Amino acid sequence: MAPRFLLFSFLSLWIFQLPAQDIVKDQGITSPLHQGNVGRIVFTSRKIDLSALTPADFLYAYELTNKSNLFITVFMARSLTNYMHGLAPELPLDSLHKNSGYQFSLLIDDRLIYKSNILGAPLPKIRDTETTISKPLIDNENEGVWWSQFYWGRFLQNGGDSALTEGRHSLKMEIRPYVQALVGDLIASGELSLEVKRKPVIDVSRIQLNPIQPYNGFPASTEQFDSNKIKELKGKIEAGVFKRINSVVVIRNGKILVEEYFNGENRDSLHDPRSVGKSFASTMIGIAESEGYLKSEHQTLKEFYPIRSFANYSPEKENVPLKDLLTMSSAFDGDDNDGDSPGNEENMYPTDDWVKFTLDLPVSSTRPREQWHYFTAGAMLLGDVLNKTVPGGLEKYADRKLFGPLGIKYQWTYTPQHVPNTAGGIRLNALGFAKYGQLYKNGGQWNGRQIVPKDWVNKTFTRYRPIPGRSDEFYGYLFWNKKYMVKGQRYETFYCTGNGGNKIFVFMDQPLVIVITASAYGQPYAHPQVDRMMTEYILPAVLNVKD
């Protein structure tokens, strides 16, 4: 009986150790190429359909520049859902799709640089069936399309950029499944030898700056500046060190000092600066107040809307002043930096009435009163207040009072109610944005005419609210405030800013207005690269700051 008992025990143990059966039917092994490369990540320099991919396309060594593209193809034995099921077989299918997914790790020279759990991607139906992954890590022509590109961006921000120094390196990628706090065994890995050349040598003698020509409202400057610094910047933009920059304009003493365009743009190109457009709501509030259409920015919402007819009524909501919307410190439970916030702008855009969406929001029960929080819906609401208040509606009024006198061509986007959208997106050419900045630099005057009351400019350029989590940065009336440090000196600016790296800088103690337009929308590098451009190139060049 003993041998039979031992055989039974061995079989029981062997059966117990078998991997859990698959919970869904996946694609399985899709081709001989797949069969021969299960568990492997291969790299390619371009997008190649799986049906057309051959071993000849696999990269083993690659030169990585700022314009290189890098794609991965992952060959797996099972789908992600089945890997996760093997890790937590007790969980039902719907639970497997919560707080679980791929864990990607990137190593440089065998040193772990960045590890991240990819949450929410790919979609559940793809997790269930897909046994291959074909995605870009870097695709310069189509940035920000796939979750894999955002992962690469986070890798660069979290040590990858400094690890990829000039010269030879090994890049290794590993993929594992995770379910809640559990991490499974390796699904696939791949390695690539890199020759990193991301710091191009710029020969400024071969770079020409655009000759400066006068523009309606702006003479051409003949003042001196460090042109080699601007040439070096131009060379680095063209070499892809600074990405998706479309224009750089510097106005000094009311004259055009620098005017450069990239990516096929020119003087006439209209740029989409996203939230730069919020600042125009502040401007029009100031003009309307000066003409008596608004009594003051201290007027409350109950003077414009029947607040009791909206959801989540409270006296506090009824008494929100326009000033709190101008300084992004209202009581509304809306924060664009919090994906779970009910008033997040992404929740507003799909609705068919943005005003109702905003006024239906509850007040926050947790945020300290008067604390700054980025609230796009509040800026939109200011535009609607204006549209209800000024003669002829906001667009006609702004054309007569602002854009017409400045000679600015523009295109406005609209809310679902066809009200000019002061949440952002108004399109101007770069010199139009420069005129807007110079208007504020002039204390609200243009060609001797007071367009915006000087008192309103002063109010706008007041540091009302500190920006949480940022040292020595503040918020005025839909303008931001900070200081740039250049060669040991601080230079204060109030500025407009928008997604993609769009900026209008108005400097307080320098005769400077600087405009940068860009289209790096949604990219983590967008705003940091503009700060680098300002501190390393533009300000040192136009301030004549020497080492």
Query: DSSP of 486-535, one letter per residue?
Result: ETTEEEEEEEEEETTTEEEEEESSSSEEEEEEE--TT-TTHHHHHHHHII
Mean pLDDT of 510-528: 96
pLDDT tier at 547 (50, 70, 90 boundaries)? low
Q: What is the pLDDT of residue 545?
A: 55
C-alpha span between 386 and 391 (Å, rounded) = 9
Q: Quick one: pLDDT at residue 524?
A: 87
SS (H, E, C) 61-111: EEEECCCCCEEEEEECCCCHHHHHHHHCCCCCHHHHCCCEEEEEEEEECCE
Residues linked to residue 147 through DSSP beta bridges, in sequence order: none
pLDDT band at 546, cuts 50/70/90? low
The predicted-structure confidence for 498-508, as pLDDT tens digits, reads as follows 999 999 999 99
pLDDT digits (tens, 9 = 90+) for 414-430: 999 999 999 998 999 99
Q: Which residues of 29-52 are buried (b: 16+ CB within 10 A; e: fewer)?
A: beeebbeebeebbbbbeeeeeeee
CA–CA dist 315, 321 (Å, integer): 12
Complete domains list, the chain, with CATH: 20-196 (no CATH), 204-273+428-542 (3.40.710.10), 278-393 (1.20.58)
Among candidates 268, 285, 300, which has minimal Cα distance to 422? 285
C-alpha–C-alpha distance, residues 97 and 81, integer Å: 8
Residue 284 CA to chain centroid, in angstroms?
26
pLDDT digits (tens, 9 = 90+) for 312-341: 999 999 999 999 999 999 999 999 999 999
**Looking at residue 50, what DSSP letter applies?**
T
Cβ atoms within 10 Å, residue 294: 22
Question: Which amino acid is it at 279?
Answer: S
Tens digit of each residue's pLDDT (9 = 90 or more) over 340-357: 999 999 999 999 999 999
Taking only the tens place, the pLDDT of each residue in 36-93 is 999 999 999 999 999 999 999 999 999 999 999 999 999 999 999 999 999 999 999 9
pLDDT of 6 > 60? The answer is no
Cα–Cα distance for residue pair 194/60, rounded to 1 Å: 9
State the average pLDDT over residues 164-182.
97
Strand, helix or coil for residue 233 = helix
- Quick one: pLDDT at residue 334? 98
Check residue 15 and give its pLDDT: 35
E strands within 356-458? Answer: 445-446, 449-450
Average of per-residue pLDDT across 223-245: 97
**Measured between alpha carbons, how far is 34 from 21 in angstroms, rounded to an integer?**
21
* pLDDT tens per residue across span 426-467: 999 999 999 999 999 999 999 999 999 999 999 999 999 999
Residue % of the chain over a pLDDT of 90: 93
What pLDDT shows up at residue 426? 97
How do residues 7-32 score in pLDDT, each as one tens digit?
Answer: 444 433 333 333 458 999 999 999 99
**Residue 203 and residue 485: Cα distance in Å, rounded?**
27
Q: Is the pLDDT of residue 4 over 50?
A: no
The pLDDT of residue 300 = 98
Which three-class secondary structure state does DSSP give residue 410?
A: coil
Helix, strand, or coil (residue 114):
strand
- pLDDT value, residue 144: 84
The mean predicted confidence, pLDDT, of the chain is 95
pTM over 0.85: yes
pLDDT for residue 425: 82
156-172: average pLDDT: 97
pLDDT of residue 10: 40
Residue 6: exposure state from Cβ atoms within 10 A (0-12, 13-18, ≥19): exposed
Average pLDDT for residues 393-403, to the nearest whole number? Answer: 98
Tell which residue, 222, 209, 201, 225, has the closest CA to residue 546. Answer: 225
pLDDT tens figures, 361-376: 999 999 999 999 999 9
